[in-house]
Copies of this chain bind each other. A is one copy, B any other.
């Protein structure tokens, strides 16, 4: 079901720029980072670790236990980037890295620089805490991607040997380990490996990992006892990662889990793998698990920005309707994982709700995770920031008021890079009955339909303009159905085919048009983009009395740079009319919103008491409120920011 990225060229005026930024800035910058050539960033040592493991250099392992995965994610981003734009020099660098990885692989197929260099006797003794299968998963993903991108089998063979080794170590036999990863990732990686190799052992192994998860006696406890109760992470107390089983979704077998819990990235990585597995294994139980847990997540625990993980402790979900705006975690990687999960759900079910969430995550948290210069990144994505308070109140220790350069734990930047370069995988879901168009990203694609090929081009200026044009470019006529997503934020969508209105056959959020497509056939989809007021579910206390603005898929926010300090004193009247206009400078080609509002103003409030009786200190003064797309916040230095704004009746 995966679109071949050689046959899909993103030429979107908006996201195309991001892809270019990844190619021109992020990938070279991250390559420098992996090689410790960025003076002001924390050292990575990731390439060095491979050299040491390969015996090419002396030294000690340095970095996180999952440092290898940064290299794998970088390679995956390179692979997808090469599909978009061949680059001989970059490919040569990647080939060299792949040779290095191959050299670091052990005789038996094992591959992990931490254990090979630092603790060779401790292989597979601490799955709960040590990310061994997680790193393997990322390497497998890189191997699959590099094969798909270049047809070169070198890394694919390395990771097949790795997967074969893992398959020999894990399984139901008496001499095998009955474990599964503390940090899921390998499940989805094995499914991707199965996609390209069709080796049934890989799907069976993914299935084994999923089905072992959360069973009793608990594997985490067994291995913990076996290794003499040593513990790797003590952040929240001794062996907390072993003890806190919901943290890694290992408290119960998946079939008994009812809510999205624990570390948000782990949850969505796991579920992406399960959805892939459910589809290919045609397993109704696992499909139900996906539907049930998806529903809990999006109906009770999702931010309007497509962020998940409402608390810093454990980078985790908290509970239904608990969605604080300022202490939220909403890791960039979690929204990337959410897109991966959503994409697999779309492959499982032709229902636009999954694409709605995917789009929301992409255009808000994922884009917002990277600065417009491609060199600064958010790990945590708050919906409200008061910089003055961040410095002193430790509930905000995880929140940064501006994007940072490379992190010590650098999962997010390379993850954003691989997501943006592989965007083509998210635009379409080709199914037998129809080609589903999920995202209106400008692109030109060739998609197999039976024996034939459908060529089409999507253009427009999404998400800023309402018109999307889809032109058929297949030289020979082809009978097929196109299914166009009608976004959840959109009312009154209109479609014409060659200028004539199309009868709206809408199923599960997609508008279906069956047609004998000829070269030059032109669909014009109009998605009205008035500014929408968004109101939170009354059970969410953090949004009570407040409103958020959305236009198209973009959530907007107030920033201090436009609106002054104390954003909590700004009110948007219920009946305020909005002006939508193109910004300047940093906001050129971006649509901004203004509305007449007011500020509860207090002359010299700083000299007043903390409270007053009977009459408010503050009187309202008229003020024009300026909203910018939230993904573009914090590109003008430190300042307050707020998505949910008080509404005056």
Contacts and interface: CB of A to CB of B under 8 A. Distances in A.
A614 interface: yes
Contacts of A320: 388
A395 B543 CA distance: 18
Given A312-B394, A319-B393, A539-B566, 7 more contacts: A300-B610, A313-B394, A319-B388, A319-B392, A322-B386, A539-B606, A545-B646
Nearest to A322: B389
A613 B530 CA distance: 11
A292 interface: no
Contacts of A614: 532-533
A318 interface: yes
A557 to B, nearest CB: 15
A618 B322 CA distance: 18
Given A545-B646, A568-B544, A394 B314 contact: yes
Given A298-B610, A395-B311, A615 B649 contact: no
Contacts of A389: 318-319, 322
Contacts of A302: 610
A386 to B, nearest CB: 6
A577 to B, nearest CB: 14
Most buried by B among A489, A539, A550: A539
Contact of A544 (B300, B536, B646): B646
A537 interface: yes
Lowest 3 A-B CB distances belong to which pairs? A313-B394, A319-B392, A318-B393
Contacts of A576: none
Given A327-B395, A535-B616, A610 B388 contact: no
Interface of A: 298-300, 302, 304, 310-314, 317-320, 322-324, 327, 386, 388-389, 391-395, 397, 489, 491, 532-541, 543-545, 548, 550, 566, 568-569, 600-602, 605-606, 608-618, 646, 648-649
A614 B575 CA distance: 11
B391 A534 contact: no
Contacts of A617: 535, 537-538
Nearest to A535: B616
B613 A533 contact: yes
Given A313-B394, A535-B617, A648-B649, A386 B541 contact: yes
A568 to B, nearest CB: 4
A612 B646 CA distance: 16
A262 to B, nearest CB: 11
* Complex copy number for this chain: 2
A394 B327 CA distance: 11
Given A393-B311, A544-B569, A566-B541, A611 B322 contact: no
A529 to B, nearest CB: 12
Contacts of A299: 609-610
A429 B646 CA distance: 46
Nearest to A648: B649
A600 B543 CA distance: 13
A538 B601 contact: yes
30 contacts: A298-B610, A299-B609, A304-B610, A310-B393, A311-B392, A311-B393, A317-B392, A319-B388, A320-B388, A323-B610, A324-B393, A327-B327, A489-B613, A532-B614, A533-B613, A534-B613, A535-B617, A535-B618, A537-B605, A537-B610, A537-B611, A537-B617, A538-B569, A538-B600, A538-B605, A539-B566, A544-B569, A544-B600, A548-B611, A550-B613
Contacts of A536: 610-611
B395 A537 contact: no
A622 B649 CA distance: 17
Nearest to A642: B541
Interface centre among A324, A393, A613 (most CB of B within 10 A): A393
B393 A322 contact: yes
A258 to B, nearest CB: 14
Contact of A538 (B324, B602, B646): B602
B537 A608 contact: yes
Contacts of A298: 610
Contacts of A569: 538, 544
A255 B456 CA distance: 74
